[in-house]
Amino acid sequence: MNDKTARQKILDAAATLFYNDGITATGINTVTAKADVAKMSLYNNFSSKGELVDAYIAARHQEWLDLYQKRLEKTKTAKEAILAVFDAYQDHAEFAYEKGFRGCGLLNAAAEFPANSSGRNAVRQHKEQVEAIVAEHLNRLLKDSQRVSYIASQLSFLLEGSMARAGLEGSSRQLQLARHMAEDILDRECQHD
């Protein structure tokens, strides 16, 4: 027995389709067919496709935060907490995607949005939050706040760049390499501070 609400069925279907095929290429009829709900159910739960897209972005963000929290709970040091960010990206890449791994679903979505749209801003805020998480843990390792900011940006670029490459290759290998690079950076920084 499937006890998911119509809203959850719609959101799950949209998440799969938006990730696999893109937001623009996915029509409402395709979403309702995959969710196995009436079109009216969609509009009873979401006032528009735009609202459904916003819910997808928020759910995708929360999904990563939950993965990170699980990883964070197993850490004992600030260095491990920073590396847990990389591990959570790796976890996301290892999901059983219907049509294979295509990289970060949020960045894929952002590429379809106009420059100053609410969806694009939501993705930017997520990426800024990830960098802030890294900086928060770096503050426990390093004394110089300017160095914290610089290293947080460096690790963020490494993380996002490796995710983009991993998506292009359809493999999480680049994320694993980025994690090793991040560990090297952290080891060097801790020696100097």
Which residue, 107, 143, 147, 102, is CA-closest to 127? Answer: 107
Residue 77 DSSP class: S
pTM, 2 dp: 0.91
Q: Is the Cβ–Cβ distance between 158 and 182 less than 8 Å?
A: yes
Query: How far, in Å, are 14, 33, 34, 191 from residue 55 at the CA level?
Result: 10, 19, 17, 44
d(CA 156, CA 136): 13
Strand ranges (E), 32-136: none
Q: Are residues 104 and 35 part of one domain?
A: no
41 and 55 both lie in a single domain:
no
Cα distance between residue 82 and residue 103, in whole Å: 21
User: Quick one: 119 and 186 in the same domain?
Assistant: yes
Q: Which domain, by its residues, includes 38? A: 1-46
Three-class SS state of 172: coil
| CB contact at 8 A, 18 and 53 | yes
Q: What is the pLDDT of residues 34-45, one digit of tens each?
A: 999 999 999 999
pLDDT in tens, 77-134: 999 999 999 999 999 998 888 888 999 999 999 999 999 999 999 999 999 999 999 9
Q: By the 8 A CB rule, do 92 and 63 touch?
A: yes
pLDDT of residue 90: 94
Q: Are residues 41 and 89 in the same domain?
A: no
CATH value at residue 134: 1.10.357.10
Q: Does 38 share its domain with 54?
A: no
